[in-house]
Structure 1
Amino acid sequence: MTGLSQTTTDELSVNRPGSTAAEEHMEEAPAFSRVFAEVLKHGPIARIDVSNRTGLSQAGVTKAVNRLIQHGLITTHDTMPSASPGRPVQPISVNEEALLAIGVTVRVNEIFGVVTTLRANVLHSVHRQLASIAVADVMESIADVVQELTDQLGADAERIIGAGIAFSGDVDREHGVVRASARLNWTHVHVRELLRDRFDFPVIVENDVRALTIAEEWFGIGVDTSSFAIVTIGAGIGCGVYVNGDVVGGAHGVAGELGHLPLAGVDAVCPCGRRGCVEAVASSSAILQSIRAAKLDPLLTMREAVELARSGDADAGFAFERAGSMIGLAMATLANLVGPSVILLAGESVTNYDLFERRVRESFDEHAFGSAAECTIVTRAHTFEDWARGSASSVIRSMVDRTLTEG
C-alpha cells in the first residue's frame, strides 16, 4: 500500500489513544470523515454547503478539507459566483481514483468482480462460471477473481482499500459469516476467516441486496432521498431499506427479508423450506416453474416463458400476474411499516416488468394505507456488474464509517 493510501486509511479508520495528539485526532476524525462523506456523495460542492449539510462550523469544514486535499483525496475546481452576495465559491470534489475498492458478488453458478473508484465507478470487471458451490471451491474462485483484478491494476493495486464479498441469504457482516444461504446450500460459513490470509487488504462480507442498497444510498437514488427501499426481483426476492440516515441492518444482521414474508398461502413452498413466502410465487424461478408445470414442459426456458406471456398465453399470463399481485402486496406491506418516500424496483427480472407492472401497481394501491400510497415506485434493471459494484460500495462506506463509530 502506498504512503497516500496508508496515511489516509489511518486517518479514516484508526484511532490510537494515549497521547494529546491521539486525543486531538479522535476529536477531529469524525469531522474529517463527515466532510469526506458529503463531498463523496454531493461533489462538486461548495464548502458552505458542506457546512450546512453536516452542521459543522465553516472553520471545521475548512480544516477537514485542507487535510483531505493534503492527502490527495479532494480536488478544487475553478471559482464560480455565489448564490448569495459575497465572495465567489470554489467547489470541491473527491479525487475518486486516489483509492480503489474491489467488489465481488457470488451467485449460484457464477461470480462477478469489479474494481471501482471511490465513487463506485467501474474500472475493471471479471466474470467467471462456478464449477461447484462447495465452500472450498468458491473461496478459490473468489481468490482467483480478486487476483485477476489486482493483476489488471498493476502498480495501481497499491491503492486498494479492501474487498467486499456479497452473498444472498443471512449474512453476519460483523463477523464475516454466511449464516445461511439457501441457494448455495451453505450454513455458518466463516468467509472472512477463510479469506483473511489471501489478501493484503481488509475483507468485508455482506448480503448482496444490502450491498446494492448501500450503493444506492451513496451514489444513486438515496443521495437526494431521505428514505427509500429497494426491492429486487430475480431468482429470489430481496429488499434493502434506508431510513433515518442509514441502511437498516437489523439487530441480528437480518432485515428487509421481503421475499420471506408469509403472504402467499400455505400451498406455496419456498426454496428456504418454509411455506407461504412471497418468493415462492414471485421470483423468476417460481414463475418459470409455474409455467413449466402448466405446459408440461420441464425444459421450458425463461425466454420462452416470456414470449408465451407476451403472445397472450393464459397460463403464462396468469403466472406473471400472480407474481405482480404478490410483489405489489409485499411492497404495500413494506410501505405501511416503514413509510419510504421511494421504492426502487430493480433486478434482472425488471426487464420483464411490462408483464406484471399493472398488477404490481393495482395491488400496491389496494393495500397501501393512507399516505403510504404516496410512495413513488421507480423501476430500473440491474446487471450483475451492478451487484458487484454494490459490494465495492460497502467497502467505501466502511472506510468512512469506521471513523464515525470509533472517533
Structure 2
Amino acid sequence: MHSSHRAETFPVNTPAASQVFTTVLSHGPLTRLEAARRAGLSPAAVTKAVRPLIEAGYLTEDTDGETRPALGRPANPLRVNGDRALFIGAKVTGDEIICVLTDLCCRMRVSRHVPLPGPDPRAVLEALTAVTQDLLTEAHGLGAAVLGLGIAVSGDVDRAAGAVRYSPFLEWRDVPLAELAATATGLPVTVDNDVRALTVAEQWFGAGAGLSDFAVVTVGAGIGCGLVVHGRVVAGAHGVAGEIGHVTVDPAGPPCHCGNRGCVEAVAGDAAIVRQVGEATGLPVADTADALELAHRGVAGAREVYARAGEAIGRGIATVANLLGPERVIISGEGLAAYDLFAEQIRDAFAAAAFGSAARCDVQTRPLPFEQWARGAAATAIQSFIRADDQRPGR
C-alpha cells in the first residue's frame, strides 16, 4: 500500500533465505556448516541463500581465516551487519508511548518516552507520528535508513490485518492502526500484541534463543502469555492464543472485566491487587506502590492478597505447561516488583498443578523494563521485513 515509501526490500524472498538470516541473527557468528545444521538445510542451500545477502550488505563474512576445518578452505563465520538498517519500535500504554530506534540486530540506539494526554486513538497517532519523525532525524545522523515501524499494544491484536480488535486498557475497538500509522509516517508498519512482540525479542535475542518451545508470562496491569511452539510464535486462529489471564482459577472468585469470574487477571492483575489490598486492610490504596508498601510493612491482610495472586499465577503457568510442555517459562512484566511477596506461592502452585514431567519446565524470572517491550515491537518490524511469508498492511 505504501511501498513507495520503503527505501528498499529484503534482497531475497525465499523461506530458506529468511530462515538462514534469522538463524545467523539469533546465533551468529556462524559458519555456513553451522548455519545449515541449525536451520535444517543443506550447505548448498545455505550458500545459495547467503550470496545475495552478502552482496546487499546484510550479512558479512569474517575473512581472517582463523576458523579452519581439518581439510579444505577456511570456514569463515557469517554475521549480520547490524548497521545496515534501522527499525523503530513503539510500546503504547495507557499513559505513554515508549519508543526505541534499533539496528538490524535489535540493539537499541535511542529511546524516547512520550506522555499521552489519554488513550484516544487520534491523540496516540499524533504522538506516535511526532516521536517517529524525531527518531527518523536521529536515524539520518546514524547514516542508515529506517525500514519499518513496529507497534506493540495490549489486548486482542490481529497482526495480519494490522488492527487492534479490542484493547481493554486503551478502550479501543477495531482500530486499523497499521494502516493509520503507515499513512501518517510513510513507513511499513507491523502491529502486534505487546506480549507476543516481547516473545519475538526473547526468541531471537533473549532467554528463549535456541529453544523450540517456550512461553513468556507477563504480570502487571494484565496477565499475558506469549507462546513459541516448534520454533514459531503462536497467535492462534483468532489471535488470542495464550490468554492465560483469562484462565479461571477460582470459579467463585472476583468478577473479571472479560465477563467471567475468578480469572488469573481478576485475582493477580494490578487493579485487582490494589482493590483487594484496600478491602483487606481498610486503608486507602491508590496504586500498586501503596499496595506494595502495605504488604512490605506487614499490614494484616496485604500479604495474603499477594499470596493468592502468586497462587493464581502459578496455576496459570501450570496450565500452559500441561497443555504445551514448554522447555522454559520466562516470567516478566512490571508486576515483578512484588516478586519477593509471591515467588514462593508461584513455585508451589506450579509444582502442585503441573502434571508429571511438565513440572520439569524451567521457570525463570526476567525483569524487563518497558524499553524492552518497545524493542520487542522493533523485533516484529525486523521479522516482517525479512520474512517473505509475512503479509501485512503497509507492506
TM bin (shorter chain):
over 0.9
Distance 1:368 1:188 in 2: 37
- Please state if 1:57 is matched with 2:42: yes
d(CA) in 2 for partners of 1:301 and 1:194?
33
CA contact 2:211–2:231 (8 Å) conserved in 1: no
The separation in 2 between residues aligned to 1:379 and 1:62, in whole angstroms, is 39
2:345 is aligned to 359
Local SS of the residue matching 1:251: coil
Q: Does 1:137 align with 2:123?
A: yes
Measured in 1, the distance between the counterparts of 2:200 and 2:99 equals 17
- Which residue in 2 is equivalent to 1:74? 59
Deviations for 1:228-275, whole angstroms, at most 9, x for unmatched residues?
000000111000000112001111111100101122334412233432
CA deviation vs aligned residue, 1:345-379 (integer Å, no higher than 9, x gap): 11112132111010001000111000000001000
Name whichever structure is richer in helix by fraction.
1
* Cα drift, residue 57 of structure 1: 2.7
Conservation of the 8 A alpha-carbon contact between 1:113 and 1:126: yes
Name the residue aligned to 1:42. Answer: 27
1:135-156 CA-partner distances (Å, limit 9, x unpaired): 2111111111211211222255
Residue number in structure 2 paired with 1:203: 189
Q: Displacement, 1:403?
A: 5.1
- 1:73-131 alpha-carbon deviations (Å, 9 max, x no partner): 11222323446665542111100120111100110111111111112110111101110
TM-score normalized with structure 1 length: 0.90
Give the distance between the partners of 1:354 and 1:403, measured in 2 at CA: 43
Output the aligned Cα RMSD. 2.1
Corresponding residue number in structure 1 for 2:354 = 368
Residue of structure 1 equivalent to 2:235? 249
Equivalent of residue 160 in structure 1, options 133, 141, 146: 146
Please tell me whether residue 319 in structure 1 is matched to residue 305 in structure 2: yes
8 Å CA contact 2:11–2:52 kept in 1: the answer is: no
Which one is further off, 227-236 or 181-190?
181-190
Measure, in 2, the Cα distance between the counterparts of 1:177 and 1:404: 15
Q: Please give the alpha-carbon distance, in whole angstroms, between the structure 2 residues aligned to 1:55 and 1:225.
A: 15
| CA distance in structure 2 between the partners assigned to 1:117 and 1:58 by the alignment | 28
One-letter code of the match for 2:11? E
Q: Do residues 100 (structure 1) and 86 (structure 2) align?
A: yes
Question: Partners in 2 of 1:209 and 1:84 — Cα distance?
Answer: 45
The residue aligned with 1:118 is 104
* Alpha-carbon distance between aligned partners in 2 of 1:404 and 1:163, rounded to the nearest angstrom: 15
| 1:151-201 deviations in Å (ceiling 9; x for gaps) | 222255761111011111001111111111111111111112222311222
In 2, the alpha carbon distance for the partners of 1:240 and 1:288 equals 25
Tell me the SS of whatever aligns to 2:293.
Answer: helix
Q: Please state how far the C-alpha of 1:134 moved relative to its aligned partner.
A: 1.2
Asked whether the 8 Å contact 2:281–2:300 carries over to 1, the reply is: no
Partner of 2:250: 264
Whole-Å separation in 2 of the counterparts to 1:288 and 1:174: 36
**What amino acid is aligned across from residue 239 of structure 1 in structure 2?**
C
Cα pair 2:125 2:181 within 8 Å, conserved? yes
Offset of residue 405 of structure 1: 8.4
- Distance change in 2, residues 1:235/1:318 (3 Å): same
The residue type equivalent to 1:329 in the other structure is R
Q: CA deviation at 1:293?
A: 2.0
**1: CA distance between counterparts of 2:69 and 2:346?**
43
User: How many residues were matched structurally?
Assistant: 387
1:283 to 269, 274, 286: 269
1:11 is aligned to 11
SS at match of 1:240: strand
Deviations 1:283-336 (A, max 9, x none): 122112211222233344423322332233331110110000000111111100
Q: Deviations over 1:371-403 (max 9, x none)?
A: 000001000111110110000000111122225
AA in 2 matched with 1:277: C
Farther-moved stretch of structure 1 (260-269 vs 97-106):
260-269
Question: What SS class does the counterpart of residue 222 from structure 1 fall into?
Answer: coil
| Distance (Å, rounded) in 2 between the aligned partners of 1:264 and 1:187 | 28
Contact 1:99 1:117 in 2 (8 A): yes
Equivalent pair of 1:168/1:181 in contact (CA under 8 Å): yes
Q: Is the 8 A contact 2:12 2:52 kept in 1?
A: no
* Alpha-carbon distance change, 405 to 321 in structure 1, aligned in 2, over 3 angstroms: same
| Contact 2:215/2:326, CA 8 A, preserved across alignment | yes
Q: Secondary structure at the match of 1:224?
A: coil
Distance 1:190 1:142 in 2: 15
Equivalent-residue separation in structure 1 for 2:105 and 2:271 (angstroms): 33
CA distance in 1, matches of 2:300, 2:251: 22
Gaps of 5+ in 2: none
Q: Report what 1:183 is aligned to.
A: 169
Counterpart CA distance in 2 for 1:43 and 1:122 is 18
Q: Is the 8 A contact 1:269 1:280 kept in 2?
A: yes
Percentage of identical aligned residues: 44
2:64 is aligned with 1:90: no
With the length of structure 2 as denominator, give the TM-score of the two structures. 0.92
Contact preservation (8 Å) 2:281, 2:299:
no
Higher deviation after alignment, 123-132 or 189-198: 189-198
Aligned to 1:385: 371
Structure 1 position 34, deviation (Å): 2.0
Q: Which one-letter code corresponds to 1:336 in the other structure? A: N
